[in-house]
Structure 1
Amino acid sequence: MKLSNMLSFPIESYCEGDLLYWPGFYLQQQANEFYNTCVEQLEWRQEQIKMFGKLVTIPRLQAWYGDEYAEYKYSGLPLTPLPWNKTLLTIKEHCQQQLQTRFNSVLANYYRDNNDSMGWHSDNEKQLGFQPTIASVSFGQERKFCLKHKYSSEKINLTLQSGSLLVMQGDLQQNWQHALPKSAKPLQGRVNLTFRHIINN
């Protein structure tokens, strides 16, 4: 595995929060292999979540994997972890070594084309702790990743490359939202793995 030089985007205008980005965390050949393996082997589902009191089908496929006790819930959707497979464990170990932190779960998202997306939100559920570290690995099609400050509306846009690692930590989830918008341009598939540590007392 080849590691690139880290690009760091500290967010200091209105709050503390860290956004770190390695555009070449994996070589392209390895990224392509991980993409194909994830598409073929993960148990993808199209879930429904609550928005404004109504059930809405999310515009992407997803899967939740992790340790046996890593139960998670967001937007009214309870997630029971599937057992880790070899590929996810390998990628998790790479992220843990790079960041010197431990993850016990991963939310996998499969954006099949330009019509699949993720709306504005923060990963600030109590199960993630007060200042969670979330490691986001991308494979496949490049996509625009957007952040917006909750109080000032300051925005940051990044293009997440295949094989990249994006890390959100510190106070970022308390003060910022993030999204992956649809695109008017036709796009190929993208797999995103967001590694987390669930705290269940």
Structure 2
Amino acid sequence: MQSPLFDPPESPDPICLLERDGRAEYFSHFYKADESDHFFESLLHSLIWKTDQINMFGKLVTTARKVAWVGDPECRYTYSGIEKIPQAWTEELLQIKHQLEAVTGFSYNSCLLNLYHNGNEGMGWHSDNEKELDGTSPIASISLGARRKFAFRHKQDKTTVPVFLEHGSLLIMHAPVQDYWHHSLLKTKAVTNPRINLTFRKILPRI
């Protein structure tokens, strides 16, 4: 099935969410509804989704949400002590990657996707600061599916900046956001539909 033609957002100016200690930009409708619907269905059925395992207080915990790690062959990634070997790029993911590279001016060699089945599944406060990540490159995050509440929280003064991530939206987190801010996908019983989140990253080659 051919992907819909990408049409840049009507308003090219993003909303600036963070004004200090890094920059976060938000496009509420980076993709139109039909494009977003297409990508959601394609990614849901074309990738191998697996439950995630995280290390909490020395114990491996299996999460309800599912993940898919996609990237160039050398992009092995260790998250919470678990090494992930990338799946191959799909046509749709390459399309999105090239569009994000054009918008951000940075290149990406990997993408971590999370599948949240409903609002009971979320992500606690954390920073994307694993040693494999290129700390100078922004992380570009696409949201597909259910509208969910996301928030930043400053590591020192605990200032909180919330935003609702819309279907087809783009959030760009520029350095040094990960050094100064945590972020979280908040749980809610009000959401019953699934959401797929795509975070495009630059992984450093192993020495």
Q: TM-score range by the shorter chain?
A: over 0.9
Question: Counterparts of 2:143 and 2:183 in 1: how far apart (Å)?
Answer: 15
Fraction of identical pairs, as percent: 38
Question: Counterparts of 2:69 and 2:135 in 1: how far apart (Å)?
Answer: 21
Question: What does residue 182 of structure 2 align with?
Answer: 177
Gap runs ≥5 in structure 1: none
Are the aligned partners of 1:49 and 1:55 in contact in 2 as well (CA < 8 Å)?
A: yes
Question: What does residue 33 of structure 2 align with?
Answer: 28
Are the aligned partners of 1:65 and 1:107 in contact in 2 as well (CA < 8 Å)?
A: yes
SS in 1 for 2:100: helix
1:9 to 10, 13, 16: 16
1:140 aligns with 2:145: yes
1:64-106: CA deviations, max 9, x gaps? Answer: 0000001111111111111111111111111111111100000
Are the aligned partners of 2:51 and 2:66 in contact in 1 as well (CA < 8 Å)?
A: yes
Deviation at 1:3, TM superposition (A): 2.5
What is the letter of the counterpart of residue 22 of structure 1?
F
Are the aligned partners of 2:151 and 2:184 in contact in 1 as well (CA < 8 Å)?
A: yes
1:95 aligns with 2:94: no
Q: What TM-score results when the alignment is normalised by the length of structure 2?
A: 0.92
SS in 1 for 2:50: coil
- Number of corresponding residues: 199
Segments of 4+ in structure 1 off by > 4 A? none
1:37 aligns with 2:11: no
Q: What TM-score results when the alignment is normalised by the length of structure 1?
A: 0.95
Question: Counterparts of 2:88 and 2:176 in 1: how far apart (Å)?
Answer: 30
Question: What does residue 117 of structure 2 align with?
Answer: 112
Question: What does residue 163 of structure 1 align with?
Answer: 168
Which residues of 2 match residues 120-139 of structure 1 at below 5 A?
A: 120-139=125-144
RMSD: 1.2
Are the aligned partners of 2:106 and 2:137 in contact in 1 as well (CA < 8 Å)?
A: no
Question: Counterparts of 2:129 and 2:194 in 1: how far apart (Å)?
Answer: 27
